[in-house]
């Protein structure tokens, strides 16, 4: 199951978690308890099982609680915490951790997302496509709470479409995992803007992004409802 072949994985875990603050209080979202364990522990076990080389944690809000938790345990793979001096957005967070990313490619993963997909196929398709980046796309039954993606016939990503509560029904979304070549990371480091998706990925030339369609379980824990349902998807031990 070592589908990630030793690559570095950035876990974005610095958000404010405002949508679930009423449930978690002062507990960071990435430490939300699910089946008796913090979400982060489930995620690190998953990355280790997949053969990731290192997890680079991009931290911000309530970072001290996350670092204290890591120091009290024994993570199953090397973990490098990097704390934002101030909220930087996803783009700024990735620029900040750029010096820690040595593998080609490196993967970005949303710290509130759980994906049970074939990561070996994702990595293989990225390398075969030879694009700057690859986005793991998952199909959901209702895209109204997500921004969706449009995929061209040749498998490249054609467009990001803003979240529209009035647009419902099935569709493809960014599943929260992106493979960045070293060349893409260099371009990102020289770019500006807080959003990876809108200020960087959406500005790349046509054909620069490979869209990998994946099947399997997908859940984010960013809302009270999805957090409550996560126990049915994540491991019980």
Q: Give the pTM.
A: 0.95
For helices 182-189 and 89-97, give the axis angle rounded to 10 degrees.
Answer: 120
Q: 3-class DSSP state for residue 230?
A: helix
157-161 and 209-214 as β-strands: parallel, antiparallel, unpaired?
Answer: unpaired
Comparing CA positions, the residue from 9, 10, 28 lying closest to residue 221 is: 28
Q: 3-class DSSP state for residue 143?
A: helix
Instruction: Specify the residue for token string 């970072």.
Output: 63
d(CA 48, CA 12): 17
CB 230 within 8 A of CB 24: no
Cβ atoms within 10 A of the Cβ of 15, count? 23
Comparing CA positions, the residue from 28, 3, 29, 7 lying closest to residue 230 is: 29
Domain residue ranges of the chain, discontinuous segments joined by +? 8-230
Question: 36-65: per-residue pLDDT in tens?
Answer: 999 999 999 999 999 999 999 999 989 999
Q: Dihedral angle at the C-alpha atoms of 117, 173, 9, 93, nearest 10 degrees?
A: -160
Position 144 pLDDT exceeds 50: yes
Question: 146-196: per-residue pLDDT in tens?
Answer: 889 999 999 999 999 988 887 888 999 999 999 999 999 999 999 999 999
Give domain 8-230's CATH architecture.
Alpha-Beta Complex (3.90)
CB 123 within 8 A of CB 196: no
> What integer pLDDT is reported at residue 146 of this predicted model?
85
CB 178 within 8 A of CB 108: yes
DSSP 59: E
pLDDT band of residue 17 (cuts 50, 70, 90) is low
d(CA 159, CA 177): 17
What is the b/e burial string over 88-98, where b = at least 16 CB atoms within 10 angstroms of the residue's CB?
Answer: bbbbbbbbbbb
On the CB side of 169, CA atoms within 13 Å amount to 2
Comparing CA positions, the residue from 35, 34, 39 lying closest to residue 13 is: 39
């Amino acid at each position: 199951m070592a589908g990630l072949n030793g690559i570095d994985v950035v876990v974005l875990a610095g958000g404010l978690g405002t949508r679930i603050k009423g449930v978690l209080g002062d507990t960071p979202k990435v430490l939300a308890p699910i089946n008796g364990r913090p979400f982060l522990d489930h995620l690190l076990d998953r990355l280790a099982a997949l053969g990731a080389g290192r997890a680079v944690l991009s931290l911000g809000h309530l970072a001290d609680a996350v670092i204290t938790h890591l120091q009290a345990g024994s993570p199953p793979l090397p973990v490098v915490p990097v704390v934002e001096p101030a909220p930087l957005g996803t783009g700024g967070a990735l620029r900040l951790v750029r010096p820690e990313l040595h593998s080609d490619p490196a993967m970005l993963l949303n710290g509130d997302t759980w994906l049970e997909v074939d990561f070996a196929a994702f990595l293989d398709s990225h390398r075969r496509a030879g694009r700057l980046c690859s986005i793991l796309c998952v199909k959901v039954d209702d895209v109204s709470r997500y921004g969706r993606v449009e995929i061209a016939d040749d498998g490249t990503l054609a467009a990001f479409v803003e979240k529209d509560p009035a647009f419902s029904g099935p569709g493809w979304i960014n599943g929260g995992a992106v493979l960045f070549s070293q060349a893409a990371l260099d371009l990102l480091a020289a770019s500006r803007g807080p959003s990876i998706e809108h200020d960087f990925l959406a500005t790349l030339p046509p054909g620069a992004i490979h869209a990998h369609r994946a099947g399997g379980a997908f859940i984010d824990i960013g809302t009270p409802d999805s957090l409550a349902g996560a126990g049915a998807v994540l491991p019980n031990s």
